[in-house]
Amino acid sequence: MFGLDFVSKTATHLVKTFEDNVRQGQQQLEKWLGDTGMMEDTKLSTLSEISDAYRTMAEDLLLHPLRFASAEIDLARKHLGLARYTLTRLTGQPTEPVAEPDPDDRRFLAEDWHRHLSFDVLQQAYLINSRAFLSWVEGMEGLPGPGRDQMLFYARQLTSALSPSNYPLTNPEVLRITWERKGMNLVDGARNLVDDIRQNPNLFNVAMTDRSAFEVGGNLATTPGKVVYQN
């Protein structure tokens, strides 16, 4: 049997090796992106911060395997509950969901997410996994407050990006509207995408407003205004 001292030294060595390899790869990637002009300095700084955050997460995983194992057991228990929920619904019996969206989460408000079993299970599995991941990040040890906040920010960005509501084939509401409009909603979306690329050829920027709705001198002023009322 290996002693705790051996395990500790081995984990430390693995973390050091992992950190060196990741840092070298990160530096090479940043240098290549900078040399080719594919990314500005400000974006390179953000990329470096994201890389550092996820590297720290991986180090915490190597240094605290028991805590991660405990989180995995809890995650497996919830997925087992989701499997029981699925079987119960297949038999036509009512049952309570394992995971429900937060009250202010509007991504899964449509009834389509709950009416169809496959999408119901999909969104619950996503909620279970994303909450487990965020909980693990929140519980990371040995990190100052700002570092933990930074990692939580990037972790939330990642889990939000992976939401099934973001993809047409895994969003029942989009599928229903696509069927009702015979695919014209996808055509409209593609047209908007092309317009956004034309407006910003060097920087992809999704438009949040209808640019054609504004007219200089009509409903858009270009001259300095004046304060007409002030408390």
Domain ranges of the chain: 1-63, 65-166
Phi, psi of 90 (to 5 degrees): -65, -30
In three-state secondary structure terms, 217 is: coil
Mean pLDDT (the chain) is 76
Task: Dump pLDDT digits (tens) for 148-188.
Answer: 777 788 888 889 999 999 999 999 999 999 999 999 998 98
Contact predicate 165/107, CB 8 Å: yes
Query: What is the spatial distance between Cα 184 and Cα 167, in angstroms, rounded to a whole number?
Result: 17
In the chain, what is the straight-line distance between the N-terminal and C-terminal CA atoms, in Å?
A: 76
Q: Nearest to residue 53, comparing CAs of 118, 162, 137?
A: 137
Task: Dump pLDDT digits (tens) for 94-121.
Answer: 899 999 999 899 999 999 999 999 999 9
- pTM for this predicted structure: 0.67
In three-state secondary structure terms, 193 is: helix
